[in-house]
Amino acid sequence: MSTATSWTVTLVDVAFETVTGLRVGGERSGASTTDMPLLRWPDGRPYIPGSSLKGVLRSGAERILRSLGVTPAVCDVLVAPCGGRLQKDVDPVPLEQLCWVCRTFGSPHAAGRLFVGELCPEGPVDTVVRDGVGIDRNELRAADNIKYDFEVVPPGARFSGRLRLDDGSDADVGLLCLLLDLIDAGLVGVGGGTTRGLGRMRYAAPPAVSRFDAAAFVAASPHPTAVDLDAARAAARTVLEEGRTP
């Protein structure tokens, strides 16, 4: 007979404003008026897919945890994943053998506990088309006959969305907030063209975090518990300073 454990769900509502141009590329169609259009909804509004934001957060987590030497060490999920297995096996890798990144974002051996929704535009969004040129790496100049244009969302556009973390400790929530803080501080960018100055965003409002207990949700009307973000960030910093995984 299995022993039931509590299931908690932490919801993180975020809102970002573009500081520079933002570009998440989409498929070019016959109706496109630019060489490199944006990813859009059927109604024509650009958006930021959850996969783009989740990739930015995972990359940031890997860099931070590797630089601080957290144990278990952060794996290379493509070359040497946790457990030393590239393919799924009949026997799962024990949870304690997974690094903090794989526990949170997922690996070939375990589903992630972090779910990242789309960042949706708040109202209509105007876009602009910019020009670009190919570079001749040998001559160190603009290449001949390689001019193109690309579409970007200009500064000042707002996007909002929700992230969900299942069974996350205060340190887990704190790490997630610290990663979002990296975006707000301009230390990591979102989308394409970040090396040319695109993709910088900042908070349009502070993240709002609430936690639900599944048992209470089923038994009665759900009453979320507010999460103290300063305390959560402090819990994450304590774990990072100690060099361990919570």
Of 196, 219, 192, the C-alpha closest to 26 is 192
pLDDT at 176 > cutoff 60? yes
By the 10 Å C-beta count (0-12 exposed, 13-18 middle, 19+ buried), 211 is classed as middle
pLDDT at 93 > cutoff 90? no
pLDDT of residue 4: 47
Cα 228 to chain centroid distance, Å, stands at 21
Identify whether the C-beta of residue 34 lies closer than 8 Å to the C-beta of residue 151: yes
pTM: 0.87
Q: Give residue 122's pLDDT band: very low, low, confident or very high (50, 70, 90).
A: very high
Identify whether the C-beta of residue 17 lies closer than 8 Å to the C-beta of residue 201: yes
What CA–CA distance (Å, rounded) separates 112 from 61? 14
Backbone angles phi, psi at 52, to 5 degrees: -65, -45
Other Cβ atoms within 10 Å of 214 Cβ, number: 14
Report the mean per-residue pLDDT for the chain: 87
pLDDT of residue 46: 94
Mean pLDDT of 192-198: 92
Q: Is the peptide bond before 72 cis (omega within 30 degrees of 0)?
A: yes
Identify whether the C-beta of residue 207 lies closer than 8 Å to the C-beta of residue 180: yes
